[in-house]
Structure 1
Amino acid sequence: MVPSAPSTEEIIAALEIPTNLNFDLPDPEDEALQDHEFQSQIDNFWKLCERFDLQTEIWRGRILRAVRDREKQGGDGRGTGFLNWLKQREITKSQAYALIQLANSADTLLEDGQLDPESINNFSKRAFVETAKAAPEVQKLVSHAAHNGERITRREVKQLADEWTAMSSDLLPDAVKEKATEGSLPPRHLAPLVKELEKLPEGHLLSLQKEVSENPDVDTVKHLTSSARSLSKYLDAAAQVQTLKAYPLDLELALEEALRLDCLGTAADLVKQATQLEQTAAKLFSTWKRLGSLSDRLYVDTGASSPNLRSLLTALENLTQEIIEVQLDESGERSVRLRILQDPEA
Structure 2
Amino acid sequence: MLQHPQTDIDLVAALAEPADLDFQLPDPEDEEIPEIEFQQKVDTAWQVCDRFDLQTEIWRGRILRAVRDREKQQGDARGTGFLNWLKAREISKSQAYSMISLANSADTLMSQGQLDPAAVRCFSKRAFMETAKADPEIQQLVTDAAKNGDRITRREVRQIADEWTAMSSDLVPDTVKAKVNDRTLPSRYLPPMVKEIEKLPESHQTILRQEVAQNPDIDTVKQVTSEARYLAKYLDAAASVQVFSDDTVDLERALEEALRLGCINVAADLVNQASQLEQTIAKLYTTWKRIGSLSDRLYVDTGASTPNLRSLLNCLEQLAGEVMEIQLGENSDRTIRLQIQENAEGAS
1:183 maps to a residue whose letter is R
Residue matched to 2:238: 238
Cα separation, 1, equivalents of 2:211 and 2:106: 41
Q: Which moved more, 1:294-303 or 1:17-26?
A: 17-26
Asked whether the 8 Å contact 2:299–2:310 carries over to 1, the reply is yes
Mark the runs of 5 or more structure 2 residues left unpaired by the alignment. Answer: 1-14, 27-39, 57-93, 109-116
Which protein has the larger Cα radius of gyration, Structure 1 or Structure 2?
2
Once the two structures are superposed, the pairs formed by residues 300-315 of structure 1 within 5 Å of their partners are 300-315=300-315
1:140 aligns with 2:139: yes
Cα separation, 2, equivalents of 1:164 and 1:243: 43
SS in 2 for 1:285: helix
SS in 1 for 2:326: strand
SS in 1 for 2:239: helix
Residue matched to 2:294: 294
Asked whether the 8 Å contact 2:171–2:209 carries over to 1, the reply is yes
Once the two structures are superposed, the pairs formed by residues 238-317 of structure 1 within 5 Å of their partners are 238-317=238-317
SS in 2 for 1:324: strand
Residue matched to 1:336: 336
Deviations along 1:6-35, one digit per CA (max 9) or x if unpaired, are xxxxxxxxxx99697433689xxxxxxxxx
Once the two structures are superposed, the pairs formed by residues 1-346 of structure 1 within 5 Å of their partners are 21-23=21-23, 45-51=45-51, 107=98, 110=101, 114=105, 122-124=122-124, 127=127, 131=130, 136=135, 140=139, 144=143, 148=147, 150-346=150-346
Asked whether the 8 Å contact 1:241–1:278 carries over to 2, the reply is yes
Compute the displacement of 1:153 (Å).
2.1
Compute the displacement of 1:184 (Å).
1.2
SS in 1 for 2:325: strand
Mark the runs of 5 or more structure 1 residues left unpaired by the alignment. Answer: 1-15, 27-39, 57-102
Give the 4+ runs in structure 1 shifted more than 3 A.
16-21, 23-26, 40-46, 49-56, 106-129, 134-150
Cα separation, 2, equivalents of 1:261 and 1:337: 38
TM-score, length-scaled by structure 2: 0.65
Residue matched to 1:85: none
Distance 1:20 1:259, change over 3 A: same
SS in 2 for 1:240: coil
Compute the displacement of 1:181 (Å).
1.4
Asked whether the 8 Å contact 2:142–2:157 carries over to 1, the reply is no
SS in 2 for 1:151: coil
Cα separation, 2, equivalents of 1:128 and 1:344: 65
SS in 2 for 1:316: helix
TM-score, length-scaled by structure 1: 0.65
Cα separation, 2, equivalents of 1:280 and 1:342: 17
Distance 1:55 1:330, change over 3 A: farther
2:139 maps to a residue whose letter is K
Cα separation, 2, equivalents of 1:329 and 1:41: 48
Identical aligned pairs, as a percentage?
Answer: 56
Residue matched to 1:4: none
Cα separation, 1, equivalents of 2:207 and 2:244: 26
SS in 2 for 1:337: strand
Deviations along 1:57-105, one digit per CA (max 9) or x if unpaired, are xxxxxxxxxxxxxxxxxxxxxxxxxxxxxxxxxxxxxxxxxxxxxx99x
Asked whether the 8 Å contact 1:172–1:194 carries over to 2, the reply is yes
Asked whether the 8 Å contact 1:171–1:194 carries over to 2, the reply is yes
Compute the displacement of 1:151 (Å).
2.8
Cα separation, 1, equivalents of 2:237 and 2:251: 11
Asked whether the 8 Å contact 2:138–2:160 carries over to 1, the reply is no
SS in 2 for 1:210: helix
Cα separation, 2, equivalents of 1:309 and 1:109: 68
Cα separation, 1, equivalents of 2:45 and 2:279: 55
Deviations along 1:259-278, one digit per CA (max 9) or x if unpaired, are 11111111111111110000
Deviations along 1:226-284, one digit per CA (max 9) or x if unpaired, are 11111111111111111111241111111111111111111111111110000010000
2:172 maps to a residue whose letter is L
1:140 maps to a residue whose letter is Q
1:310 maps to a residue whose letter is R
2:194 maps to a residue whose letter is V
Cα separation, 2, equivalents of 1:42 and 1:315: 57
Distance 1:139 1:313, change over 3 A: farther
Distance 1:222 1:299, change over 3 A: same
Q: How many residues align?
A: 270
Alignment RMSD, CA only?
A: 4.0
Deviations along 1:116-155, one digit per CA (max 9) or x if unpaired, are 69888755577589x49x9656863576469757532244
Distance 1:344 1:54, change over 3 A: farther
Distance 1:46 1:210, change over 3 A: same
